[in-house]
């Protein structure tokens, strides 16, 4: 079975869903953003010292290596996915975990009100402004599109498992 790449607009949801799906499929789980941060250590400093092009090329190398993993559920933010789309193997099953715009906005508000401290809040604000463009890009470039409600995790994981197994 190929790797499963989950992509979407809310990283907290991708992590939670990815971990549960990996457990269900008996796969490994890896958050791409954490792997990139670990591998590049300090992206901001790298960008400042070496330049944005160098930093992006180093990030692309990490994403390319992720394709060599086996039996792994990977979660990846929209930004990493869109910036490194050409480095992602077509052998991965790429799943867009999609919310409608109203659901997305509501989920962002929930995260803001929960007091969550995350660097992703800035990305969520940008996604609010350009939701349709990001949504269209993901719909166009993913193998499966699965609408989800984070409050219904059990049925979502079952649905994902069924669709992945059916695709194999």
Which string of DSSP letters, residue by residue, matches 45-73?
Answer: HHHHHH-HHHHHHHHHHHHHHHTT--SEE
Q: Is the dihedral of CA 143, 83, 117, 5 positive or negative?
A: positive
Distance of CA 111 to the CA centre of its chain: 17
Please give the order of strands across the beta sheet that includes 72-77: 28-31, 72-77, 4-8, 93-98, 144-147
Contact of 7 with 14, CB cutoff 8 Å: yes
- Find out whether 39 and 62 touch, Cβ atoms under 8 Å: yes
Q: Locate 119 and state its tokens.
A: 């660097």
Q: What pLDDT does 118 receive?
A: 67
Question: Would you write out the chain's pLDDT as a tens digit for each of its 168 residues?
Answer: 589 999 999 999 999 999 999 999 999 999 998 888 888 777 777 777 788 888 888 888 989 898 889 999 999 999 999 999 999 988 899 999 999 999 999 998 888 888 776 667 778 888 889 999 999 999 999 999 999 999 999 999 999 999 988 876
């Amino acid at each position: 079975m190929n790797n499963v790449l989950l992509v979407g607009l809310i990283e907290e949801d991708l992590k939670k869903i990815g971990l549960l799906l990996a457990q269900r499929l008996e796969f490994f789980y890896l958050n791409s953003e954490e792997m990139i941060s670990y591998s590049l250590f300090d992206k901001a400093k790298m960008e400042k010292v070496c330049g944005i092009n160098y930093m992006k090329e180093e990030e692309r190398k990490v994403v390319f290596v992720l394709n060599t993993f086996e039996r792994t559920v990977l979660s990846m933010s929209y930004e990493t996915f869109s910036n490194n789309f050409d480095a992602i193997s077509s052998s991965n099953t790429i799943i867009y975990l999609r919310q409608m715009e109203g659901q997305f906005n509501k989920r962002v508000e929930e995260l803001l009100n929960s007091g969550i401290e995350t660097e992703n809040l800035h990305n969520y604000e940008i996604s609010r402004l350009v939701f349709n463009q990001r949504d269209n890009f993901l719909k166009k470039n993913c193998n499966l599109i699965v609408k989800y409600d984070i409050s219904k995790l059990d049925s979502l994981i079952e649905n994902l498992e069924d669709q992945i197994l059916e695709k194999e």
